A and B are shown apart, each in its own frame.
Chain A
């Protein structure tokens, strides 16, 4: 239901009132410290993979050498901190299994993100551009692209990101649509993962998994439960769980300590505010 909504009233004078109206700058400072300190002094908290992260991992484990994966960088630098750990871990895992990757992006800022990930993964695995992976680049019309890839990859991307004719790449020699792609991976900060599931999955039956920011991951549960997505990673924790599974300690696992303390601090502030609220309400009732 639509609701008239407002923040709660702020009073003055009493201890309880002060507890429920802490200056936001104090909150900001505490959050900053709770994130920074564990990064400097790691706590080493354990990581236990969730079911959906396990399923994500298994989908890539099922791929055989030579299989082709379509990887979509559906994010920009703003969410790099949360999604880059997933992307680099997937690329390294895939390369380790001999999987070939076709990369695309639906964001202009995704080009720089993609190039950084591809470079790092390819160099560490000794992979060759054009044979083991290719970057078809940015296409602004993402809905048309998702549908068109079901008919012809080369018609959708006549050239790669760098202007080279797509038809000249060995990786695309016998790969021209979703039917030639074993798995679609979408790492996304927006609803693009859902659109991939609807258009690539619903229209063409493309098998897919996704990695999303924590806020967006909540939206993925219905698709995962119905099997439209075979697995997903939710937020930095999902990235940490996946890194644990592929045995690649990266920014995901390193960030877990900071995320733990930050969440703990937020819960503390919420409880503090509520204690102040309840005590203040009792006081006003007495009065």
Chain B
């Protein structure tokens, strides 16, 4: 976690939220409003709370901890007060003295509204009971500090570095001219055939880049494939229609298709109006695309990207018009619908491999192989960890969390 919540223990979060500045006189009123509050008779004056900097945060919190005496009645409340370096005091929230469900007789509170890095703060605690407020002495002054690194995320950092290293290694190998094998993917082999079919029939190609915005990886992958398809369509002078659900995706698609036409030596055949925005509504988009398919009768449909419930409507409508259909999505809940209604389906990562496969660009190929290598490592770690755990030898889960 980052920000003020970094290092915060979520189960205790309810105790830190919605705190109010309660002046001492209001605390006294609180005592009168607590008819069920136990008497503090028999309880000793509490020792000062233990104060520590909250780890892995931006220096805006201190953690208070205390022990609850054995004779303390259930429902005992603890009132906390803070004093900063210049002597200004704030009375904090009254909290249950004992952590709910705790095995030991301990309580804690995270003060994240007042402390700031560079300041020093002391605290004291009082057992809050009807007629009695037993205040402790002030604790030693503590200073919250800023951490540069969130140690709770070290495993993620290690994995990121490892994966990046593998990726860069394979990209470097590709740059040096290493031969990297990639298996046949029938759906992508059929792209040329599909574009050629549309050219022969004199009908357009429809390309749907999915419903997700540009920041989604499936959309990036789809736009990469669109570039390849657009280039082939431009070479054959076949009309390519790209209806979009997201305006940013539309803008990117227009750039990509225009450049594809220029690269194919046909900049004059580019039609910006063929790459257009429809609506942000999911089924409005499905209705728009179905309408286009019924009216324009494209010979080839590409459904490449992220799709949701509308996938079957799109695929069935396209099937009914007799178009050849190539689909590709990483939404595995929609894959069955595409598989039943489309001629070729790219499943999961085959979508990400699409642009690499079609362009055969060495750098991208290297990155794809790096991905495969990382997958093998993850598989090995999973199998090893599962075996170790199953045999009762060692539990690797804390390191993988």
Q: Are A and B physically bound partners?
A: yes
Chain A residues close to B by CB (< 8 Å): 1-7, 66-68, 76, 78-79, 107-109, 140, 143, 150-151, 174-175, 177-182, 189-191, 203-205, 207, 213, 215-216, 218-219
Given A2-B345, A2-B350, A205-B10: A150 and B282 interface contact (C-beta under 8 Å): no
Q: Let me know if B331 is at the binding interface, CB within 8 A.
A: yes
Shortest distance from the beta carbon of B164 to any chain A beta carbon, whole Å: 20
CA distance in complex: A7, B338 (Å): 11
Q: Is the CB of B344 within 8 A of A4?
A: yes
> Is the pair B17, A180 in contact by a Cβ cutoff of 8 Å?
yes
B185 within 8 A of A: yes
Whether B16 sits at the interface, judged by CB under 8 Å, is yes
In angstroms, how far is the closest chain B Cβ from the Cβ of A218?
A: 5
Contact A2 B17 (CB under 8 A): no
Which of B282, B333, B342 touches A219 (beta carbons < 8 Å)?
A: B333
Give per-residue flags for B180-201: 1 if the beta carbon is below 8 A from chain A beta carbons, else 0.
Answer: 0000011110100000000000
Partner of B1, one of A109, A181, A204: A204
> Are B308 and A190 in contact (CB-based, < 8 A)?
yes
Closest to B183 in A: A1
Which residues from B are CB-within-8-Å of A182? 13-14, 17
Say yes or no: A218 contacts B333, CB within 8 Å. Answer: yes
Which chain A residue lies CB-closest to B334? A215
Q: Which residues does chain A contribute within 8 Å of B333, judged by CB atoms?
A: 215-216, 218-219
Would A5 and B344 be within 8 Å (CB), given that A76-B282, A179-B16 are in contact? Answer: yes
Expressed in whole angstroms, the Cα–Cα distance for A203 and B4 within the complex equals: 12
Judge whether B308 and A6 touch: CB under 8 Å: no
Please state if B18 and A2 are interface contacts (CB–CB under 8 Å): no
Contact with A along B358-383 (1 / 0, CB 8 A): 00000000000000000000000000
Q: Are A191 and B10 in contact (CB under 8 A)?
A: no
CA gap between A182 and B301 in the complex, in Å: 46
CA distance A218 to B337 in the complex (A): 14
Residues of B within 8 A of A68 (CB): 17-18
B4 touches A179 (CB 8 A): yes
Q: Is the CB of B309 within 8 A of A108?
A: no
Question: Interface majority SS on A: helix, strand, loop or mixed?
Answer: loop
Chain B residues within 8 Å of A204, by CB: 1, 3, 5
Contact across chains for A2 and B347 when beta carbons are under 8 A apart: yes
Contacting A215 at CB < 8 Å: which of B112, B190, B309, B347?
Answer: B309
How many of chain B's residues have a CB under 8 angstroms from any CB in A? Answer: 45
In the complex, the answer to whether B343 meets A5 with C-beta atoms within 8 Å is yes
In whole Å, how far is A176's beta carbon from the nearest beta carbon of chain B?
10
Task: Report yes or no: B340 in contact with A179, Cβ–Cβ below 8 A.
Answer: no
Is B215 an interface residue when CB atoms closer than 8 A count as contact? yes
Q: A2-B185, A5-B344, A108-B280 are in contact. Are A174 and B20 (CB under 8 A)?
A: yes
When the two chains form their complex, are residues B282 and A189 in contact, meaning their CB atoms are under 8 A apart? yes
**B18 and A174 contacting across the interface, CB-CB below 8 Å:** yes
Q: A151-B3, A205-B1 are in contact. Are A179 and B344 (CB under 8 A)?
A: no
Indicate which residue in B5, B319, B346 contacts A150 across the interface (CB closer than 8 Å).
Answer: B5
Assembled-state Cα–Cα distance A109/B281 (Å): 7
A8 to chain B, nearest CB (A): 10
Chain B residues contacting A175 (CB-CB under 8 Å) are 17-18
The answer to whether residues A78 and B344 also contact, given A151-B3, A190-B308, A215-B333 and a CB cut-off of 8 A, is no
Given contact pairs A174-B20, A215-B334, enumerate 4 new A-B contacts (beta carbons under 8 Å): A76-B282, A179-B16, A182-B13, A191-B306
Q: Are A5 and B340 in contact (CB under 8 A)?
A: yes
Per the bound structure, the CA–CA distance linking A190 and B311 in Å amounts to 12
Given contacts A4-B343, A189-B308, contact A78 B2 (CB under 8 A): no
Q: Is B394 an interface residue (CB 8 A)?
A: no
Complex interface: chain A residues within 8 A of B112 (CB): 179
Residues in chain A near residue B280, CB distance under 8 A: 107-108, 140
| Nearest CB on B from A186, distance (A) | 15
Residues A179 and B17 in contact in the complex (CB < 8 Å), given A203-B2, A219-B333: yes
